[in-house]
Amino acid sequence: MNELLTVAKTFLFVPGHRPDRFAKAAASGADVVILDLEDAVAPDRKEAAREHVRTWLAEGHQAVVRINAAGTPWYHEDVASAGRALAVMLPKAETRAEIDSLAGRLPGVPILPLVETAAGIAGAVEVCGADAVVRPAFGSVDLAVQLGVDHRSHEALRYARSALVVAAAATGRAAPIDGVTTALDDEAALAADVDHAKTLGFTGKLCVHPRQVAAASRGLAPSDGEVEWAREVIARAGDGSVAVAGGQMVDKPVEARARAILKRAGH
C-alpha cells in the first residue's frame, strides 16, 4: 500500500467521531481518507472516535489515522486503535526517536509525519529519514501560529515548505503533502495554494472538505503542456544531448523529470 501513499494527490480529513461521514469521504474521490482523532475531535469524544475508527478499519476499509501527538493524554490509546490503518499520521513530528518509537509499537504500518513546528522544520531531514516514514506532510496552520505569521501567506511559509521538500528528496522519500486551505468556499484561494505548493515541489494536498478534492487533484496533476513536453523529451532522448522544441537541451536530469511528469500523469 506504500505505492498509494507515495503517489496520492488528495488526502481528505474526516472527524473520527462522525462515522456517518466515513463512507461519504471514501466516495468523495479523494485518493486517501484520513480518519482524524486529533484536532477535529473534542477531548470528551476521543474515546468514542477511537471506537468508530477501530470498527471502520476492522470492516476492511482503508484509511490513514491521524493520532494525537506523543506526550498528549490520548496518544497511547490512539496508537492502540490504529493497528489496521493504511498509515498513521503523527502530528507535531520533530525527532526520529519519536517516529521510531511509534513504529516499534505498530510494526509494518507506514508513518506520515506531520511537520508543523519550528523544531520539526529544523529537524526535517532527521524526521524524514526515519525508516517507517513514507512521505511527510506540512502543517501550515500550526506552524504559522508558532511563528506569528498568517497561515495564508505563501511568502511567510515559503522557507518552511521548501525545507520540507528538500528534506524529503534528501532522504529518498516521496514529495510532501501540502497543508490545508481553510477557506472552504474560495476556489481561487484553493487554486492559488495548490499552484504555489506544486511550484515548490509538493505533489499532494490535505483537504478538509469533499468539495476541495476535485480541484486539488486537477491542480496537482501535470498540465497538458507539461505532458506534451515530457512526451517529446522521452521521444527524442538518446545517449547524448539533443535539441528539442524550443531549443532546450535534453540530458539525463531533464529526461528524469520528464519521466516523473508522465508517471504523475498516469502515463
Q: Which CATH number covers residue 40?
A: 3.20.20.60
State how far the Cα of 65 lies from the Cα of 108, in Å rounded to an integer.
14
CB 67 within 8 A of CB 88: yes
User: Which residue has 529519514 as its cell numbers?
Assistant: 129
Same-domain pairing of 213 and 237: no
Q: Are residues 242 and 161 in the same domain?
A: no
Determine the structural domain holding residue 152 and report its residue range: 2-221
- Please check whether residues 201 and 256 belong to one and the same domain: no
Helices then strands, counting H and E runs in the chain, come out as 13, 10
Rg (alpha carbons) of the chain, rounded to whole number = 19
Give the pLDDT confidence score for residue 240 in this predicted structure: 59
Read off φ and ψ for residue 32, nearest 5 degrees. Answer: -140, 135
Q: Given 186, 201, 221, which residue is the final one in a domain?
A: 221
Residue 66 sits in the same domain as residue 166: yes
* 174 and 214 part of one domain: yes
Tell me phi and psi for residue 253, to 5 degrees: -60, -40
Same domain for 232 and 206: no
**Total structural domains within the chain:** 2
Taking residue 77's Cβ as centre, other Cβ atoms within 10 Å add up to 15
> Rounded to whole angstroms, how far apart are CA atoms 230 and 245?
11
Over residues 217-226, the pLDDT tens digits come to 999 998 888 8
Residues 149 and 235 in one domain: no
Sites in the chain below the pLDDT cut of 70:
1, 238-247, 267
| Predicted TM-score (pTM) of this structure | 0.92
Q: Give pLDDT, residue 72.
A: 97
